[in-house]
Amino acid sequence: MQKISDPTISRLSTYYRTLSRLIEQKIDTVSSEKIAHINNITSAQVRKDLSFFGAFGKRGLGYNTVALKKEIGSILGIDKKWNIGLVGAGNIGRALIDYTEFKKQGFFIKAIFDNDLNKVGKKAGDLEIHHIDDVCYIANKENLEIAVIAVPAHKAQQVVDDLVKCGVRAFLNFAPITIKVPEGIIVKNENMSIELEALSYHLSRDKKKG
Amino acid sequence: MQKISDPTISRLSTYYRTLSRLIEQKIDTVSSEKIAHINNITSAQVRKDLSFFGAFGKRGLGYNTVALKKEIGSILGIDKKWNIGLVGAGNIGRALIDYTEFKKQGFFIKAIFDNDLNKVGKKAGDLEIHHIDDVCYIANKENLEIAVIAVPAHKAQQVVDDLVKCGVRAFLNFAPITIKVPEGIIVKNENMSIELEALSYHLSRDKKKG
DNA sequence: AATTGTGAACCTCTTCACAGCT
DNA sequence: AGCTGTGAAGAGGTTCACAATT
């Protein structure tokens, strides 16, 4: 299959949530135009995104919400359960532990790591905090597939390097630094500062204009 | 000035952080090639991004780290202090209150709002939690310029609509929903589920390939 | 000799527009 | 009649390649 762009994958996630909401409202058919309107994009974009993966609609009618949600879930691989390791039991880490939305979507935090001996051995939610040195043992035992990196910037690269050696191939990085990984390893970044600074940029410009 | 693309603005944020780190290391000159290498992009990209705003380098030499950091800070508008209102004192909200990085970068949470009467009146960090109904009064009093939306999806649009009426023009949205705003209002989204689902997509595909 | 700044070329993503299906 | 699916056109972003500068 051809390479699918990151924006397309992101939008599939938003369509998925849109469909969930429509299904809650007992709506069982939807047009690309309606999905587009809900998400502030064009209907052609919606149809094009879906067309990379198949022809899920009926011409003249639209899409069946339940069927399309299932298709997108399958495309995104969220029809299965994913085991997540959380590295860093600071503020962000603890917020994620308590964030029940993840579990609903099939992402289960199965292990927590920190290097702070005051935290190691204590509980965070239901889980014991392990020392980061035990990461490979636990990663294998719990079959961790994704690691969430919530450690300070200067520790992040080393932590990822170690986890790659343990066989973890996907990372959600909260550290404000560019992580380097070998071919085949995937990193996605979550960086609130970048978004806030983008807001700052636009507000500053508007001010200058008038 | 021409319209600058979102990716360019995001990269300026990363250059800013790169320069901060170089300055900490007492490095006072840097090439576009080095900035690029640190961030896994091309040097042409770095130079092009900067060129939209001016000619900050010296041919044959590179960029002065301190001067360039200051220029980018000015471009992004982070050479000033921004007042932030946080709406929603749940898990995400509380993590942000404790997240000291923001303050360092000039983003100050000046007010917190919730609609839960069990929370209103209580303290979160140094700040009292206000009822969401008082948002306009407080927004004006504290001169709130940016609002962080950390409420459930079904409340988010209404909260933003209210804040727009109060004069808030920039939003960082954590709710997993597309917020609609009038022309001139800026929304940036922070959505962990989208990134996790992108990881899920790539892992699933790799598995199928073998 | 080294590195910037930038027009042009290239590539990728989005939108158009319409044939094709229900 | 209405809406999808898609090739082609258009827009936008990235990289090339080199003249200009230190």
Does residue B116 carry a pLDDT above 70? yes
| Sheet containing A123-124, strands listed edge to edge, beginning at the edge strand earlier in sequence | A123-124, A127-131, A107-114, A82-87, A146-149, A170-173, A186-189
In chain B, which residue's Cα lies nearest the Cα of A148? Answer: B196
Given an 8 Å threshold on Cβ–Cβ distance, is A176 in contact with B203? no
* Average pLDDT, integer, range B129-140: 97
B117-176 residues near strand D (Cβ < 7 Å):
none
- pLDDT 10s digits, A20-53: 999 999 999 999 999 999 999 999 999 999 999 9
Task: Please tell me whether residue B51 adopts helix, strand or coil conformation.
Answer: helix
In chain A, which residue's Cα lies nearest the Cα of B81? Answer: A200
Q: Is the CB of B58 under 7 A from strand C?
A: yes
B203 at A interface, C-beta within 8 A: yes
- pLDDT 10s digits, A155-184: 999 999 999 999 999 999 999 999 999 999
Does residue A210 carry a pLDDT above 80? no
Does residue B23 carry a pLDDT above 60? yes
Task: Please tell me whether residue A209 adopts helix, strand or coil conformation.
Answer: helix
B chain contacts of residue A205, beta-carbon cutoff 8 Å: 77
A176 at B interface, C-beta within 8 A: yes
A40 at B interface, C-beta within 8 A: yes
- Which of A157, A200, A208 should we substitute to test contact with B (largest number of B Cβ atoms within 10 Å)? A200
Residue-level pLDDT at B2: 78
Residue nearest to nucleotide C6 (CA to C1'): B48
Question: Can you list the alpha helix ranges (DSSP code H) found in chain B?
Answer: 6-24, 32-38, 43-51, 65-76, 91-98, 101-104, 135-141, 153-166, 192-209
CA distance B190 to A196: 10
Report yes or no: B186 and A199 within 8 Å, Cβ to Cβ: yes
What are the structural domains of chain A?
Answer: 6-74 (1.10.10.10), 82-194 (3.40.50.720)
Residue-level pLDDT at B125: 87
B81 at A interface, C-beta within 8 A: no
Using C1' positions and the CA of B3, the closest nucleotide is D12
Does residue B180 carry a pLDDT above 90? yes
Distance A1 CA to C9 C1' (A): 28
pLDDT band at B207 (very low <50, low <70, confident <90, very high): low
